[in-house]
Amino acid sequence: MTLHEFTNYQHDENQIPDYIELWFDYEENEERIYFPVRYSFENHLLKIVYAGQAPRLSNILRKYGKPDEIWIETKSYKREGNLSVRLNLVYLQKGMAVGYVVDGDIQGDIVTGCFADKETGILHLLVPDVVTSYKDFVSIFSLERHYLLLEEATSLTMDDFMQQFSDPSKLQCIETPTELWE
């Protein structure tokens, strides 16, 4: 991994910066990937870390275990030929949320999104013990979107999800009824 660019924003020279942003790049499957990592400060303390790239879903699950919450968002129709399926893992106690987005498909009355090696992820860290809700992770959860908990949106339990999605050799697809997203 290579440091690509560095940005330091201060609105007053005598203060700690509001944020520091670093751009990194790495090569994966002969493709160059660029992503930012932003460190935001509030009252001279590090408040938020945001990374524009996240580890694969199965790696996050194996390293951090069962999330406190899993939220899903999609639509019941394709818009301009596209249908996104969002899967957001929230670790409230760790102050961490990881969001993934994949292209979805509709077959009959089911929306399907498959995550293995196709997901685009972002990572958002907050100071632990100040997180009270998934809504605290505004870079991952757009408050204009309609999210449902895993158990409300699918037939999966949290344990089923962990068993299926933490193993990269298993099919990692989410299925949810279109009627929930109308």
This prediction's pTM: 0.76
SS3 at position 180: helix
H helices present in 17-122, as ranges: 57-64
What are the domain boundaries of the chain? 1-44, 54-181
Supply the pLDDT for residue 104.
Answer: 93
Q: What is the pLDDT of residue 127?
A: 65
Cα(137)–Cα(59) distance, rounded to whole angstroms?
21
- Whole-angstrom distance, CA of residue 131 vs CA of residue 136: 6
Beta bridge partners of 7: 21
Number of Cβ within 10 Å of residue 152's Cβ equals: 11
Give pLDDT, residue 169. 86
Instruction: Give burial (CB, 10 Å; 0-12/13-18/19+) of 121.
Output: buried
Residue bearing tokens 């019941």: 76
Strands in the chain per DSSP E: 2-9, 19-28, 31-42, 45-51, 69-73, 84-91, 96-107, 110-114, 120-126, 148-149, 173-177
**What are the structure tokens assigned to 160, written together?**
């089923």
Phi-psi map region of 73: left, alpha, beta (phi>0 left; psi -120 to 50 alpha) = beta
pLDDT along the chain (182 residues), means of 10: 46 65 68 71 71 78 92 90 90 85 92 79 68 74 86 96 91 94 91
Residue 139: its pLDDT value, please?
65
